[in-house]
Amino acid sequence: MINVEKIRLCVDENFGWATSIRRHLHMHPELSFREFETSKFIAKTLEEIGIPYTLLDLPYSSAQSRLLQAAGALNGSSVNSGVLAVIEGALGGPAIGLRADIDALPILEETNLSFASVNSGVMHACGHDMHTSALLLAAKALWESRLDLAGTVYLLFQPGEECLPGGAKLVLDSGILDDKKIEAFVALHVSPEIDAGKVGIRPGMYMASGDEIHIEIKGKGGHAALPHTLNDTVLAASSVVVALQQLVARLGDSRTPSVLSIGKFIANGATNIIPSSVKLEGTFRTMNEEWRAAAHKHITDMVEATAKAHQTTAVVDIRKGYPCLINNPTKTLAVRNELIENLGKDSVVDLDIRMTTEDFGFISNRYPSVFFRLGVGGESKSSGVLHNSKFIAREDALKTGALSLISAINALLKQSF
């Protein structure tokens, strides 16, 4: 198996190199499905190491085009961002995939870092620059130890995690992984709630599915002083918001975590005007795929019935997002034990479920997978929360990230022999 101590030395020796990569990526963030320069930079870095790679060209379906258009990411008939690289061990063995997402968020950075974003209004506020740099550091260490490697490692630098339809889905739908005989996939995500030097992990169900709800309530608008002459779309929409809370409270299994939230309510009337249209937007999240499908029908039926009761009509558009993220129990426990061995028991934290979403859920539904959290918090040079303009990750976590990824590979290879 992999010589972890040799890997640890290599990671330590190349920490400065990885830090410079991270700072370049942080300074030059790109939005989902538009990571063109980021992909070129990753490819150039892999080339300098000597690792073979392929720049991704991901076709999308007509159904996916609407979502990509909404993200402003349409470019011909395919998405030209992302990289797939491969390290073939000299000793043969099974194939394992490592994934890092590479896109950034539409946020104006306010960290005052010397390497803050130069792309105004775009920021690595979710730590994908850390994910990419940690994977490159792991790749460099694995490449230098490939003569001792009893397996093949695929490195997926994936575009578009932050936007529907999700880069992971486009990668899977493209078929580029179909002939790779990958036995398991591994990914990490930064967590400012966990101190740098530590990781968090959870077997089984970990993250929720996530769907977008778009509703329009239509009716005859008019003078607010004459409610008997119009259809009160505002009241109808308000009743819809209240009624939808019954979905989780009364229709859902109380043992299944679920959340339905309406975050946007646009009634563009005035103090004395009831508008003819009110728009609502929200999200539905759960951890059971069967209930998820049933809930979509319940939502539509409930909205339409409520609107009808108010003599209005409803148009309901539920945009299916990422599926539940499930960590394979057996493989995750094996990785957890390996992390304890290599990082120490006090450095491995047991996680609770999260109702946030992650497009790695598509991968975990296709391959046995392990998704864990990388601590980037603590007192020294870290602040903020994810998706925040002042988020700063501790860079020393890069070493822990690279070592953890390689520890996961080691654990999964041991399972295969």
Active-site residue list: 103, 161
- Beta-ladder partners of 384: none
pLDDT confidence tier of residue 4, bands split at 50, 70 and 90: confident
Phi, psi of 327 (to 5 degrees): -85, 125
Residue 71 clears pLDDT 70, i.e. is over it: no
What's the pLDDT at 67? Answer: 74
Q: Sorting pLDDT into bands at 50, 70 and 90, what band is 358?
A: very high
Q: Which part of the chain is CATH 3.30.70.360? A: 210-322
Closest CA to 303 of 317, 284, 324: 317
Kindly give the residue spans of alpha helices, DSSP state H, lying in 50-166: 62-70, 128-144
Confidence (pLDDT) at 382: 72
The ranges of the chain annotated as CATH 3.40.630.10 are 4-207+325-416
pLDDT in tens, 368-388: 999 999 999 987 667 889 999
Query: How many CB atoms lie under 10 A from the CB of residue 120?
Result: 8
Q: Residues 190-232: pLDDT tens digits?
A: 999 999 999 999 999 999 999 999 999 999 999 999 999 999 9
* Paired tokens of 120: 């105004």
pLDDT tens readout for residues 58-68: 988 777 877 77
CATH topology of domain 4-207+325-416: Aminopeptidase (3.40.630)
Distance CA 350, CA 331 (A): 15
pLDDT category, 76, cuts 50, 70, 90?
A: low
Rounded CA separation 107/100 (Å): 20
What phi and psi values does residue 91 have, to the nearest 5 degrees? Answer: -100, 10
- Please list, residue by residue across 205-225, b when 16 or more beta carbons sit within 10 angstroms of its beta carbon and e when fewer do: bbbbbbbbbebbbbbebbeee
Distance CA 165, CA 411 (A): 32
- Cα–Cα distance for residue pair 310/236, rounded to 1 Å: 6
Residue 3 gets which letter from DSSP?
Answer: -
Per the CB < 8 A criterion, the answer to whether 41 and 24 are in contact is: yes
Nearest alpha-carbon partner for 197 in 385, 417, 413, 397: 397
Using DSSP, state whether 97 is helix, strand or coil. strand
pLDDT of residue 383: 80
Which pTM does this prediction carry? Answer: 0.93
Q: State mean pLDDT over 94-111.
A: 97
CATH annotation of 210-322? 3.30.70.360
State the average pLDDT over residues 248-270.
Answer: 96
82-112: b (≥16 Cβ within 10 Å) or e: bbbbbbbbeeebbbbbbbbbbbbbebebebe
SS (H, E, C) 190-256: EEEEEECCCEEECCEEEECCEEEEEEEEECCCEECCCHHHCCCHHHHHHHHHHHHHHHHHHHCCCCC
